[in-house]
A = this chain, B = another copy of it.
């Protein structure tokens, strides 16, 4: 087992990464202040791991809340189902919520914890690669709105994150690829060595070699923890973690939540950000090709869906949280391992990217 510390002063917490962690109550115990826990999971993950986690937490009278699986259920309405269950079971302020699932369950459980009785503790047990390398770390929580991704939410940090790499054994291929998109993202924005390691080791990751997966998760969490520690509430550098996300969120909202996996949309979005960076002469064609090659090898899309016209993409991008005073701010690349945020991308080039990427689909 490896452990990282996310340093946020009073709100600091540990991220444990390793095999067989779902049996180690000593990792959770110090972070459960009360006598009770409520485990939030979904219909896909619950049959696989809920019983085991209930057994692990048997001393805390665990309540289980099981939601349907999918991004389309990441709404205020389904958030309210969590509140219904907690209130019906009379869970009080000392109840600890435990997120057992992927990014949707983690984001919703964190937001429920932020709001229930104006705040209760919570723990992340992410079971997808995407949640393990990205969404379970850093305290961004929330739900979607028909008009935009993650528009309603809170910054609310977990008490600890337990990443059991064994849970990846049951992960569908499509979701493994979606998780790899976020691993590649860290390479692109700030870690050239990770990007090169991925070029060399991608086949081992696709073959689910435990050692390779552990390494990819650890290096991803390390990058995430560094960035979040420097800028918890996204006043500056943290925004770089959104490489590909302004494009990607537009794809997710435009296609209907759940049609594309978040990681797939981010992959296409990163390819588009690279394309725009190249049109601005910030990136060479060969760098652009390396990026597209790696995404393709990871079995990820590099083009937006044909069903989504360029104008609709632009419209959806305009509600992004990074818009300030009407100006769209995009994360672009100045090289592999070097991202920056800019409001200066010429509209004509952005339109070219939106049109050409579709044309090349």
Contact = CB atoms under 8 A, between A and B. Distances in A.
B117 A324 contact: no
Interface string A331-352: 0000000000000000000000
Nearest to A86: B151
Contacts of A153: 115, 118
B318 A90 contact: yes
A297 interface: no
Q: How many copies does the complex hold?
A: 2
A87 B154 contact: no
Contact of A92 (B119, B154, B324): B324
Contacts of A151: 83, 87, 116-117
Q: Chain A at the B interface: mostly helix, strand, loop or mixed?
A: mixed
A87 B319 CA distance: 7
A325 interface: yes
Query: Size class of A's contact patch?
Result: 35 or more
A262 interface: no
A80 interface: yes
Contacts of A318: 90
Contacts of A93: 321, 323-324
Given A83-B151, A87-B145, A115-B153, A94 B324 contact: yes
A269 interface: no
